Structure 1
Amino acid sequence: MTSRSHIKAVLQALFVTLLWSTSWVLVKIGLKASLPAITFAGLRYFIAFLCLLPFILLNPAQRKGLRGLSRAAWGQLALLGLLFYTLTQGAQFAALAFLPAATLSLLLNFSPIFIALASGLLKDESPSLIQWGGILLTTAGAVVYFLPLTLPAGQGIGLWIALICVLANSASSLLGRRVNHQSGLSPILVTAISMGIGGLLLLMIGATTQGFGKLDLTQWLIIAWLALVNTAVAFTLWNNTLKTLTAVESSILNGTMLPQIALLAWLFLDEPLSARQILGILLVGIGTLIVQLWRQLPAVARSTS
């Protein structure tokens, strides 16, 4: 029975990664249909927050947790919303307007490296020799992917926006881990509050600077699907898998998104990859996986000893 439940959790997690990977395709389709990038991101995450809200307001335990939030907790959740939704997701949508999906996905895979380096500085624990090997392998993969270093028009701007996205994503991951471990709040409460604050701010910035454009039925369907299925439902399913899967297993399954996004972009967005770029993606994927696994394996060993 345990084996069956574990297989079910693995398949469910893979399904969630597929949903998240299709988000990149849907976002690119929306952007090509002239959806303003920041407004698009704001609509997705604020509507997703509205979808999660009933699960908090109709649950006595969640309402109690909400009422018991201290001013410091509200401040941390607001900062998390600013970093992960307003900055990270806003920059991701904006970067996708300039870069191929596979390129941005590859760059975002550098987040675990920044997290490992920052964790080493904050906790006075430098990366292990194996992790340094993973970092070098990831860097080599990026060099292979981008060689020769000539960028099509407009992609230079996209790379700068992507850098903001990677840094904000790394910072939000560190803060998110701290909030989840120290606040005592449920994952849905942390996600919903930070998403509501960050998504609303993102929507206000987009509406003020870019407007809403001309949203037709297809564009509204894309926004609704991204908000309801690929965000609210996917989040719920992923959290359910965390009850069964180890941190290492979750990292490995989450790492499958890099090739998934590249394949989906080739199939649906006409963004083909050369053999050199495929090799670069593989090297980056293996390198970041090494960095993540060797950060989490000691914790797993301690918890099972």
Structure 2
Amino acid sequence: MTAENKQSHFFAVLQALLVTFLWSTSFIIIKNGLASIPPLTFAGLRYSIAFLCFIPFIIFKKKYREEISNLNPQQWKSLILLGFSFYAFTQGAQFLGLSLLPSVTVSLLLNFTPIIVAVAGYFILNEKPAKIQWLGIALFIAGIIVYFFPVRLAEGKLLGIIIMLAGVLANAASAITGRKINRNKDISPLIITFISMGVGSIVLLISGISLNGFPEININNWLWLIWLAVINTAFAFTLWNHTLRTLSAMESSIINGTMLIQIAALAWFFLDETITLQEGFGMLTAAVGAVLVQLKKSGPVKNQ
């Protein structure tokens, strides 16, 4: 590796760490915003604004307009399914989960996704997990057991965990759907994100407003919403995919795995969410397991 390549690689690592930091701060911003904005409406507004950010890039580039017009019915079906599974169900569950559970618990449960994808991939995609992935699955499950032991959950927390587990299943389904779409390499990443985000955000927004009406949002929360949409979603997604041109799949997985630690630190500092020594050990064990599961084969990580 030349000196120029080393510098480019180091810069890509810093950029990837910046993205994971932005995604980690999303948990803190969402927790604060949920005090005045209902979960589904909050999620719908975030991704609707982010969707609007992508429109100029589509309108002013002929190749993207032509690509959308040439999509066949099967491709539309796959993109709509991705919109429902990743944005409407996964993100909806995440916002609902954050309204009921500590940030670290939500983040930890979301790390179940690669475990389910690895197991489902064995049956659905005929992708046999490597030994290191089986080790990762065992470590992750052990970490989860340590984190929650002994199991004493209040009614609200139990509901939150059930919602999050449903969200994790939806997230795993979206990962498999996304893998199938990307495997064909006939739709550009920007179009995949644009259409699926548009579908999911509309479903979330309509659902939220139907259930709770449109809330009164003060200027401070509007600013945080715009920040979440523009910086933590549109910008962060674009920058992350840029780093994937330089970083290996293993490096990206490890960097993405630091989010659990970042969220724990941010939640402790800003939200006064304490973590016991036992919970910390369980969390770290699960984080290592989640990274190991992704080491064999890892693709772009979706925006948070």
Tell me what 2:115 maps to: 113
Instruction: Name the structure 2 match of 1:31.
Output: 34
What residue in structure 1 maps to residue 198 of structure 2? 196
* Aligned-pair identity (%): 50
Q: Match of 1:223, SS?
A: helix
- Code of the residue aligned with 1:7 in structure 2: it is F
Does the 8 Å CA contact 1:73/1:183 hold for their aligned counterparts?
no
Which residue identity lines up with residue 289 of structure 1 in the other structure?
Answer: V
Paired residue type of 1:158: G
1:126 Cα deviation (Å)?
3.6
How many angstroms does 1:178 deviate by? 1.3
| Aligned counterpart for 2:20 among listed residues 17, 21, 26 | 17
Letter in 2 for 1:48: A
Deviations 1:98-155 (A, max 9, x none): 0000001011111100000011112334433332221111111011111121113410
TM norm structure 2:
0.94
Match for 1:43: what amino acid? L
- Secondary structure of the structure 1 residue equivalent to 2:278: helix
Q: Which position in structure 2 is the counterpart of 1:236?
A: 238
Structure 1 segments, 4+ long, off by >4 Å, are none
Size of the aligned set, in residue pairs, is: 296
Equivalent AA in structure 2 for residue 15 of structure 1: L
Q: Does 1:61 align with 2:63?
A: yes
Partner of 1:152: 154
Mapping of residues 245-260 of structure 1, within 5 Å: 245-260=247-262
Answer with 206-215 or 265-274: which moved more.
206-215
Q: Distance in 2 between the 1:242 and 1:291 partners?
A: 18
**Using a 3 Å threshold, how does the CA distance of structure 1 residues 189 and 159 change in structure 2: closer, same or farther?**
same
The residue aligned with 1:278 is 280
RMSD of aligned Cα (Å) = 1.3
Letter in 1 for 2:168: V
Matched-pair contact (CA < 8 Å) for 1:116–1:295: no
Measure how far apart 1:12 and its partner are.
0.5
Residue 294 (structure 1) shift:
3.1
Deviation of the 1:59 alpha carbon: 1.2
Structure 2 residue 215 is matched with structure 1 residue 213: yes
2:42 is aligned, of 40, 43, 56, to 40
Separation in structure 2 between the aligned mates of residue 264 and residue 191 of structure 1, nearest angstrom? 28
CA apart distance, 1:186 = 1.3
| 1:7 and 2:10 correspond | yes
CA distance, structure 2, for counterparts of residue 194 and residue 125 of structure 1: 25
Aligned to 1:303: none
Q: Which ranges of structure 2 fall in alignment gaps of 5 or more residues?
A: 300-304
* 1:69 positional shift: 1.0
**AA in 1 matched with 2:280:** I
Cα deviations by residue, 1:240-285 (Å, 9 ceiling, x for unpaired):
1111112121111111111011111111111010111110110001
The aligned counterpart of 1:162 is 164
How far the C-alpha of 1:183 sits from its partner, in A, is 4.5
Q: Distance in 2 between matches of 1:232 and 1:124?
A: 33
Stretch deviating more after TM superposition (146-155 or 223-232): 146-155
Q: Distance in 1 between matches of 2:259 and 2:56?
A: 30
2:249, 2:297 within 8 Å by CA — same for their partners in 1?
no
Residue in structure 1 matched with residue 92 of structure 2 by the alignment: 90
Contact 1:48/1:231 (CA < 8 Å) preserved in 2? yes
Say if 1:129 and 1:240 are closer, same or farther in 2 by CA, change over 3 A.
closer
* Distance across 2 between alignment mates of 1:31 and 1:115: 30
